[in-house]
Homo-oligomer: A and B are copies of this chain.
Amino acid sequence: MTPIRIGLLGIGTIGSGTYEVLNRNLDEITRRVGRPLVITRVADLDLDLAKQVTNGDVELTNDAHTVTRDPDIDIVIELIGGYTIARDLVLDAIANGKHVVTANKALLAMHGNEIFSAAHEKHVMVAFEAAVGGGIPIIKALREGLVANRIEWIAAIINGTTNFILSEMRDRGIDFQTALDEAQEKGYAEADPTFDIEGVDAAHKLALMAAMAFGIPIHFDKVHTEGITTIEQADIRYAERLGYRLKLLAITRKRAEGVELRVHPTLVPEGRLIANVEGVMNAVLVEADAVGSTLYYGAGAGSHPTASAVIADLVDVARLITADPGERVPHLAFQPDQLSDTPILLMDDVETSYYLRMRLADQPGVLADVTKILGDQGVSISAALQVEPSEQESAADFVVITDTTTERAIRTAIASIEGLSSSFAEVIWLRMERLS
């Protein structure tokens, strides 16, 4: 199968992440796609950096137009950012019949109508999964997964910087400026954080999502945009006392009269899943007529999460530019001749944590026996709860949560505990997953 040849414009944070992930997971990706994806050319003004990231394995240039015009390139990835040079290069790539993959939300929010129109005329694709919600496949959900639905509204946390700041303000009672300083220290906010904290970045993404949800052009200029710079502690506290969390939401809703398009700090009932999205994470909640509510959660920024979306776009384009059945999405994700016979583990070999509820005699030395039995099997206790027996009872419930161990070890320990004369009932046990 002919490889897909890719030209990469810009080898900064996202560009180098894309290069790294594509090369690190090349085997796994090729097992899925059935056809190699190869970055053959990289353009960046900083040739030293480009050489360092690519290890000299690809052709480098500081003239991006030689890539957009290279007849041997199938797909151009634009990861330069901004909307002047990036716009020229994307339009030039399209004019030269290249498919384009970009993570540039600002460019598409400002010039998307023009760019998509040019792409439509030239029968090429401009893929932009990485432009909204980082690694969350939200564009795919909106354009494909929910294609059967009339979308009613979208409410989204699509700026990690502001969600981090609001989470810190709430958790630690600090003010906006302190939280912003911290976000900058941790690399979650840029030196000039204006686009994030004033809601502009979220507005870029919202304009794109609204177009896809409702079949309207991109109206970035009509998004009502408010940031979080004036949020005070008092309001976070009062909202909490009333049962709400404060989030910077990007909201679009279709009404009979028209479309609402707005980014602003918003109180959300604390029981809603999206109210519990903390730190730099993103989430998009979509309400649609057939499926009801669906929510998509994940890392909205960062080098490798964004690379995940860029590469998914490369694969999509590779699959769509040919009708060869071998290029389709394989039924089980991997090409049929690429399935592996990895063994399925026996439960005894599974490793996780455990919850044990024991009914033990309320007398000295009993707990020592139990902890010794667990220790002999190499099982550590991470939390314990002893329930005080009532006066009439001679036994008490004793609950422990263990650290990670094998199911074999816990079963052996349980059998020993049940054999103790001080154990009055079968040990009730459940598995526990920390999911982190």
Chain A residues engaging chain B, CB cutoff 8 angstroms = 21-22, 24-25, 28-29, 31-33, 112, 116-117, 119-120, 123, 125-126, 129, 134-137, 140-150, 155, 208, 211-219, 222, 224, 232, 234-235, 238-239, 241-244, 246, 249, 251, 254-255, 257-262, 264-269, 272-274, 276-277, 285, 288-299, 302, 304-305, 307-312, 315-316, 319-323, 325, 328-334, 336, 338-345, 347, 349-351, 353, 355, 357, 383, 385, 387, 397, 399, 401, 428, 430-436
Contacts and interface: CB of A to CB of B under 8 A. Distances in A.
B137 A246 contact: no
14 contacts: A21-B148, A25-B289, A136-B294, A140-B144, A148-B312, A234-B397, A258-B349, A260-B344, A261-B344, A262-B350, A272-B436, A274-B435, A290-B311, A294-B299
A398 to B, nearest CB: 10
Q: Which of A261, A267, A332, A343 has the most CB of B within 10 A?
A: A332
Contact of A433 (B267, B293, B342): B267
Can you list the 8 inter-chain pairs with the closest CB atoms, starting with the nearest?
A137-B145, A323-B323, A148-B311, A135-B291, A294-B298, A215-B334, A267-B432, A258-B343
B216 A339 contact: yes
Given A267-B431, A290-B135, A293-B298, A145 B140 contact: yes
B299 A296 contact: no
A238 B357 contact: yes
Given A219-B344, A261-B345, 16 more contacts: A25-B290, A32-B147, A120-B336, A135-B292, A214-B342, A238-B385, A238-B399, A242-B401, A244-B401, A259-B344, A267-B432, A274-B435, A276-B276, A285-B435, A295-B295, A295-B296
Given A357-B235, A385-B242, A260 B345 contact: yes
Contacts of A261: 344-345
A260 B348 CA distance: 10
A224 B145 CA distance: 30
Contact of A257 (B126, B319, B345): B345
A385 B222 contact: no
B267 A355 contact: yes
B144 A25 contact: no
A192 to B, nearest CB: 26
A321 B320 contact: no
Nearest to A314: B148
B212 A333 contact: yes
Contacts of A222: 344
B308 A299 contact: no
Contact of A428 (B134, B235, B342): B235
A129 B291 CA distance: 13
Contacts of A387: 238
B291 A298 contact: yes
Contacts of A319: 320
Given A125-B328, A224-B347, A273-B277, A268 B435 contact: yes
B297 A294 contact: yes
A93 to B, nearest CB: 15
B116 A336 contact: yes
A240 to B, nearest CB: 11
Contacts of A309: 145, 148, 291
Given A217-B339, A332-B215, A273 B258 contact: no
A347 B253 CA distance: 12
A168 to B, nearest CB: 16
A265 B304 CA distance: 33
Given A294-B296, A344-B261, A331 B218 contact: no
A155 B222 CA distance: 40
A241 to B, nearest CB: 6
Contact of A432 (B211, B266, B321): B266
Given A214-B342, A320-B328, A146 B312 contact: yes
Q: Which of A32, A255, A299, A430 has the most CB of B within 10 A?
A: A430
B116 A433 contact: no
B336 A117 contact: yes
